[in-house]
């Protein structure tokens, strides 16, 4: 069975500081991995996805994530936080095939001026 663990339900960073949101997954087969962002009172929007091509994936708004098979991780980073990055971030996994996405519990990112 697939599962996702996001370390830290709330992360707070200063504006301009590095953003690091952690995601570890469990999957019995090579996974597809996704990061979604949710702004207040909105639906989920795709940030980036890994689908077995390059292990370093670049997404929208300056975010990127690196797939590390040996660590079963897919951490999300951004070099310099902006106030507009404050939102909730969800990591999700899907096994190869047509199974539904399994989501982590989310990490709320706060950005302090």
- Residue recorded with tokens 């999957």: 27
2 binds other proteins (CB under 8 A): no
Q: How far is the CB of 103 from other proteins (least distance, A)?
A: 4
Asked whether position 94 contacts other proteins by CB under 8 A, the answer is yes
Residue 34 as a binder of other proteins (CB under 8 A): the answer is yes
- Is residue 40 a contact point for other proteins (CB under 8 A)? no
E-only strand ranges, the chain: 3-7, 10-14, 19-26, 31-38, 44-50, 56-58, 64-68, 73-78, 87-95, 102-103, 107-112
Cβ–Cβ under 8 Å, residues 23 and 5: yes
Using alpha carbons, select from 93, 113, 106 the residue that is nearest to residue 39. Answer: 106
- Interface with other proteins (CB under 8 A), residue from 49, 62, 64, 66: 49
Question: Which of 16-24, 40-48, 55-63, 72-80 is the region at the interface with other proteins (rule: CB under 8 A)?
Answer: 40-48
Instruction: Single out the segment in contact with other proteins by CB under 8 A; choices: 21-29, 61-69, 75-83, 93-101.
Output: 93-101
If the CB atoms of residues 32 and 73 are measured against other proteins, the closer one turns out to be 32
Cβ neighbors of 100 (< 8 A, separation 6 or more) are 94
Task: Using CB under 8 A, list all residues that contact other proteins.
Answer: 9, 32, 34, 36, 41-46, 49, 51, 90, 94, 96-98, 100-106
């Amino acid at each position: 069975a697939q599962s996702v663990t996001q370390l830290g339900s709330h992360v707070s960073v200063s504006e301009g500081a590095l953003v690091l949101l952690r995601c570890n997954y469990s999957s019995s087969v090579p996974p597809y991995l996704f990061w979604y962002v949710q702004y207040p009172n909105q639906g989920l929007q795709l940030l980036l996805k890994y689908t077995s091509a390059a292990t370093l994936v670049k997404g929208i708004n300056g975010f990127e994530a690196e797939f590390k098979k040996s660590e079963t991780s897919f951490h999300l980073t951004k070099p310099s936080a902006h106030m507009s990055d404050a939102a909730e971030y969800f990591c999700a996994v899907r096994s190869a095939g047509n199974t539904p996405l399994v989501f982590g519990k989310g990490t709320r990112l706060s950005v302090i001026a």
